[in-house]
Amino acid sequence: MLILFINSNMDKIYKKDPMDRDLVTIFKGDDIEEFKEGVSDMIKYYKRLLLKKDDKYYLRKGTLLYHGSENYPLNFAKKNMMTFFGLDMEIAVWYIYEMIMNQKHYTARIIKSKITGEKLFERNGYLYVFKLKEDIPTEIIEKIYQNPKDTKVCKNKKVTCIHPQVSYRGDSFNEEVGTKIHTEVTLFMETYKDSLELIRSYLIDGEKLHKNHKDIEYDIRDSIVREYSDPTKIDDKVNCEEFNRIFSDNYVCEYCDFRGSFDSVLEHEKTCSFRSRGSSKKNKHNNIMKFLDFLKDKKKRKNTKKRGKINRGKAIDHTKRQYITTGREAKRELIFKNRTGRKLRKTKNVKVSGNRKDKTRPSASYYYNILKKPIGTKVRYAPHEGLGGSGKIYTYTLQVRKNGSPFWKKMY
């Protein structure tokens, strides 16, 4: 029989987001101080838990892996998809809650009812329990900040990864509640589906998770509605009103940090200046660079005091590039001037829209990615009127979602 010594540190509550790293920590590739001891204990625990054969680690046959999802039944046919499992049940269930609360960010993607045309939201989720049919090789990722999606070894379809992870009690790290250190396992189903046996699936009550998400000791087994083995997904989606009643009403624009009620966010998204640039990670850098241009141009416009025709719906005309003059370009400019006597104009004046509703709200992306302001940076601004506010100024703190996008969290 395998007896494992479990360190009391494993029940420790952490109230700091492990992604909240300063430049020195980033440079060193380290975890933040708060997590170092706990993570190191966890790694030692893995080394005892896993099987070691010829200097390689294996997850043992019989190990249970938990997977939380909004989907039922699970689609394992998806190619190139990394699937996340919890080695403990807790992280998988809190992921379901995170997914439910995340719907507030994706209002545009919410599916409409075929009957009423109303947008419908998930209020429940499914917990899948798998058992390993054989020993499978695994790599230990020793830092909690490391996301397997960005880690070379884990992106290899033949490799599984085991690593410490936090749970979010909401759509972002919840400093108020904190987290324990959990364990996540990632693998590619296309490689390992035959090594896994689905032994149970459960319907999980999102409302119960919401009511208890602030209780760190909450026993998540209490959120199980029942074992679920129906052939199809239960038809239990709710409309916006009902979703708000259960889960509050603070929505976020899919493309920027605009916040408000479902209706105001949906209305805002139609004319959001950031919409045409998309919300994918790949576009994020471009968005930031264009935002800088936007600021530059705004300044220019202020100085000239001359207002051109306003190009509504577009913050900047991104078909016109903003140049930084290189040596070669300077040379070309000079040749052009010598030949024609005119100045070579490479850029046209960019028109800036005047319809950003939230002029007072600073960009969280700009603060975080460009100004490199640390998480926790406080600013004060008045939220948009549509929020039900009345020009009243609140204090906000800079936070980062699990997917890396920064936002302002209201404090007081």
Using CB under 5 A as the criterion, which residues of the chain lie in contact with Zn ion when the complex forms? Answer: 253, 255-256, 258, 272
Which residues, at least 6 apart from 283, have a Cβ–Cβ distance to it below 8 Å? 277
Which tokens sit at 199?
A: 């032994």
Q: Which is nearer to Zn ion, 179 or 399 (CB)?
A: 399
Which residues, at least 6 apart from 323, have a Cβ–Cβ distance to it below 8 Å? 329, 346, 347
Taking a C-beta distance cutoff of 8 angstroms, is the pair 145, 373 a contact?
no
Tell the smallest beta-carbon distance from residue 133 to Zn ion (Å). Answer: 47
CB atoms inside a 10 Å sphere around CB 200? 14
- The sign one gets for the Cα dihedral 350, 294, 296, 326 is negative
Taking a C-beta distance cutoff of 8 angstroms, is the pair 65, 86 a contact?
yes
Q: How far from 70 is each of 124, 205, 206, 409, CA to CA, in Å?
A: 7, 11, 10, 26
Tell the smallest beta-carbon distance from residue 3 to Zn ion (Å). Answer: 54
Q: How far from 259 is each of 79, 117, 175, 384, CA to CA, in Å?
A: 35, 24, 20, 8
CB atoms inside a 10 Å sphere around CB 307? 10
Cα separation, 75 vs 77, whole angstroms:
6
Q: Is residue 268 helix, strand or coil?
A: helix
Tell the smallest beta-carbon distance from residue 272 to Zn ion (Å). Answer: 3
Cα separation, 355 vs 111, whole angstroms:
28
Q: Which is nearer to Zn ion, 65 or 256 (CB)?
A: 256
Q: Which is nearer to Zn ion, 70 or 267 (CB)?
A: 267
Tell the smallest beta-carbon distance from residue 269 to Zn ion (Å). Answer: 6
Tell the smallest beta-carbon distance from residue 274 to Zn ion (Å). Answer: 5
Taking a C-beta distance cutoff of 8 angstroms, is the pair 122, 237 a contact?
yes
Q: Which is nearer to Zn ion, 64 or 400 (CB)?
A: 400
Chain CA centroid to CA 209, Å: 19
Q: Which is nearer to Zn ion, 57 or 255 (CB)?
A: 255
Q: Which is nearer to Zn ion, 258 or 294 (CB)?
A: 258
Tell the smallest beta-carbon distance from residue 264 to Zn ion (Å). Answer: 11
Rg (CA), the chain: 25
Q: Which is nearer to Zn ion, 204 or 253 (CB)?
A: 253
Tell the smallest beta-carbon distance from residue 84 to Zn ion (Å). Answer: 28
Q: Which is nearer to Zn ion, 121 or 258 (CB)?
A: 258
Tell the smallest beta-carbon distance from residue 382 to Zn ion (Å). Answer: 17
